[in-house]
Amino acid sequence: MRRRRVRLAVPVPLLVPATVGVAFLVLPLAGLLARTPWAQLGSHLATPGVGQALRLSLISASLATLLSLVMGVPLAWVLARSGIRGRSVLRALVTVPLVLPPVVGGVALFLVLGRNGLVGSWLDETFGITIPFTTTAVVIAETFVAMPFLVISVEGALRAADTRFEDVAATLGAGRWTTFRRVTLPLVAPGVAAGAVLCWARALGEFGATITFAGNFPGTTQTMPLAVYLALQRDPEAAIVLSLVLLLVSLATLLLLRDRWLGRSGTPVA
Amino acid sequence: MSLSARVVVARGSLALDVAAGVADGEVLAVLGPNGAGKSTLLRVLAGLLPPDDGRVEVDGAVWDDADARTHVPADGRSLGVVFQDALLFPHLTLGENVAFGLRMRGVPKATREATAGAWLDRVGLAGLGDRRPAQLSGGQAQRAALARALVVEPALLLLDEPLSALDARTRLTVRAELRRHLADFPGSTVLVTHDPVDAMALADRVVVVEDGRIVQAGTPAEINRRPRTDYVARLVGLSLLPGTGEGRTVRLDSGGVVAVADDAAGPVFAAVRPESVALYLSRPDGSPRNVWPATLAGATLHGATVRCELTGEVPLVADVTETAFAELGLAPGARVWATVKASEVAVYAR
């Protein structure tokens, strides 16, 4: 059911800054469209570097999202449901990457997983594995930055979900793990989906941590945002085309999210 | 005794300490106001909340024993629970909801579908197995919730305000059906409610819980006729007048004297039904033995009768017809005379 809203006249002191705000947010995007070299669009997109960067971006963002789901959903459950001590401290720690400048995240990852890092030196000596400046590093950097978005979203969904359904499941003989799989997870599926989309979008746009920890090697670590930055210095037209692609992907993400958020609530998504 | 329980829980301002036994096939109603601890008791019996002290035993199996540090969690108990809001899983069909308990017990798909279908049939929802809970009315959802609870043939059935979320008309039909299903149910049933009608209609025995303690226990008829606390008296619609019996009169603690038909001695309750109180604008002639001046404090319409709250030396509730109320020209604040025949006053020991 939708309530009818009364349309209120907007007071001028609110209307003027609001209009400026809209212009501020929309004009740059309009400018991007205005400057797009539509005629050469095809040839720019056909450049081998573009396809490579786009493919790498999509794959690494998807892997980062998958990794975030595997670790983030259980983590969100622990934050929302468990009675462990120090939960608020844990939540603060988990959300640090949200506010941390990504470059700092990249440096931190480098110090831990770099060849001379705490874990990295061990990996190197024991298995001969080096992580920095590989595609793996891209996925790790993106996961580090994007996972908190998923955790926060899923935790919110879990808190909003009616825990009495879990009580009902228990009285019907379901253990905690079964209850989680058969009841809790389906109930918060829309929240998980929204979180995953947010996480994916954040991973796709990741720049700072990636360039710090993974470098900028075409084919292995040069993702779309890195390619845009580089192209802007060499070939501004190519940069505009690449930006346009990212803008389209972002808009598609937004549409997808809107459907999740405004879709019929209470009906299963899975 | 199939269920025998003593439950002690201290939570904030609530200090719950009740003991109860329920035989096989028996329905025990736990009646009490909000916050009395009824739901806490139910959560303990369900295994959703470990008691601070006490013991819960069903069919010889110990589910809780604070001394022995035994606590069987909900999923290890042979239970069926129906909550106030049906709480059907929204992501499952009706059939899958009803079959959920069987699935948890590893019953093969074909068998559990057949059993669930039979139960849906039994609660009057035949053919609706493919529906989603969102497509059901409140009454249908509550019937499905009952089927979901009973399908596993539990030893203990717990009903938490099962009818209070339903509208008045639906409540009547679902109550009647529930009564039928409870009669067929071989295990013990505990019904938690704040509605005395539910308790009277569905229970074999009633315990009244106030502030975490049992203040009265008995058959529904006893509770109905001889309430022992103001709360119960209000619920069953009686005016409860505590006093001291002195032969054929009761001297009330609040002052005032009530004439009664039988000899009474010591601390007693005098109870007056609202329909046995008559109201007059001037002191009536003749000799009704109980005549008291009173002030009309409030009046509410129930169907065709008006329930009048009277204050004065004998506080009473009177039911008069809407017509009589209009003819007397009564309004809150009016001075009236209330009369009750001595034979209409029930007297019983405190």
Please answer yes or no on whether A168 and B48 come within 8 Å at the CB atom: no
Tell me the nearest-neighbour CA distance from A264 into chain B, angstroms. Answer: 11
Q: Residue B343 has which token pair? A: 């034979």
- B177 contacts B124 by C-beta, under 8 angstroms: yes
pLDDT at residue B227 greater than cutoff 50: yes
Say whether pLDDT at B317 is over 60: yes
- Within-domain flag for A199: yes
Q: In chain B, which residues touch A (CB < 8 A)?
A: 46-48, 73-75, 77, 79-81, 83, 85, 87, 89-91, 100-101, 104-105, 132, 134, 148-149, 152, 158
Range of the domain at A260: 48-265
At residue B144, the 3 state secondary structure works out as: helix
Q: What mean pLDDT is predicted for residues B312-330?
A: 88
Q: What is the pLDDT of residue A134?
A: 92
Mean pLDDT computed over B201-230:
91
| C-alpha–C-alpha distance, residues B64 and B57, integer Å | 7
Compute the average pLDDT of residues B180-206.
92
Can you say whether the dihedral through the CA atoms of A102, A105, A109, A110 is positive or negative?
positive
- Look at the block and give the residue holding tokens 């013991």: B55
Q: Considering the domain boundaries, does residue A33 fall inside one?
A: no
Residue A86: inside a domain, yes or no?
yes
What global pTM score does this model have? 0.81
Question: Positive or negative CA dihedral for A124, A128, A131, A134?
Answer: positive
CB-CB: which of A170, A174, A186 is closest to B91?
A: A186
Q: So what's the pLDDT on residue A265?
A: 46
The total number of structural domains that make up chain A:
1
CA of A187, closest CA in chain B: separation in Å?
Answer: 7
pLDDT for res A58: 92
Residue A127 forms part of a structural domain: yes
**Tens of pLDDT, residues B287-297:** 667 899 999 99
**pLDDT for the residue B257:** 87
Tell me, what's the pLDDT at A267? Answer: 42
- Tell me B77's DSSP state: S
What is the secondary structure of chain A as a DSSP string? --PPPPPPPPPHHHHHHHHHHHHHHHHHHHHHHHH--GGGHHHHHHSHHHHHHHHHHHHHHHHHHHHHHHHHHHHHHHHHH---TTHHHHHHHHHHHHHS-HHHHHHHHHHHHSTTSHHHHHHHHHH----TTSHHHHHHHHHHHHHHHHHHHHHHHHHHS-THHHHHHHHTT--HHHHIIIIIHHHHHHHHHHHHHHHHHHHHT--HHHHHHT---TTTT--HHHHHHHHHHH-HHHHHHHHHHHHHHHHHHHHHHHHHHHSPTTS---
Token look-up 């049939």 returns B121
How deeply is B288 buried, as exposed, middle or buried, from its count of CB atoms within 10 A (0-12, 13-18, 19+)?
middle
Residues 101-160 of chain A with CB under 8 A from chain B are none
Per-residue confidence (pLDDT) for residue A270, from 0 to 100: 34
pLDDT of chain A, 270 residues: tens digit per residue: 455 566 778 888 999 999 999 999 999 999 988 888 888 888 888 887 788 888 999 999 999 999 999 999 999 999 998 888 888 899 999 989 988 999 999 999 999 998 888 898 888 888 888 888 999 999 999 999 999 999 999 999 999 999 999 999 999 999 999 999 999 999 999 899 989 998 999 999 999 999 999 999 888 999 999 999 988 888 888 888 889 988 888 888 878 777 655 454 444 433
- CB–CB of B123/A199 below 8 Å? no
- The strand order across the sheet containing B70-71 reads B14-22, B3-11, B53-58, B61-65, B70-71
The residue assigned the tokens 């405190």 is B350
Mean pLDDT for the stretch of residues B310-328: 88
Nearest in space to A166 (alpha carbons), one of B135, B44, B188, B81: B81
Measure CB to CB from residue B101 to each of A165, A167, A173 and give the nearest one. Answer: A173
Average of pLDDT values for B171-194? 93
pLDDT mean over B327-333: 86
Cα–Cα distance measured from residue A19 to residue A12, given in angstroms and rounded to the nearest whole number: 10
| CATH number (domain holding residue A116) | 1.10.3720.10
pLDDT at B343: 87
ipTM surpasses cut 0.90: no
Q: Compute the half-sphere exposure of residue A211: CA atoms within 13 Å on the CB side of its CA.
A: 14
**Angle, helix A185-204 to helix A236-262, in steps of 10 degrees:** 170
In a domain, A171, yes or no: yes
Question: Is residue A57 in a domain?
Answer: yes
Report pLDDT digits (tens) over B33-85: 888 889 999 999 999 999 999 999 999 899 999 888 999 999 999 999 999 89
Residue A240, domain member (yes or no): yes
| Three-state secondary-structure class, residue B244 | strand
CA atoms within 13 A on the CB side of A186: 16
Length of chain A: 270
> What letter does residue B255 receive in the DSSP assignment?
S
The answer to whether residue A4 sits within a structural domain is no
Arithmetic mean of pLDDT over chain B: 90
> Is-contact B102 B151, C-beta < 8 A?
yes
- The DSSP symbol for B73 reads -
Q: A172 contacts in B (CB within 8 Å)?
A: 75, 100-101, 104, 148, 152
B235-257 pLDDT, tens digit per residue, is: 888 889 899 988 888 999 888 88
- β-strand B335-340 against B290-302: which pairing, if any? antiparallel
CB B166 within 8 A of CB B137: no
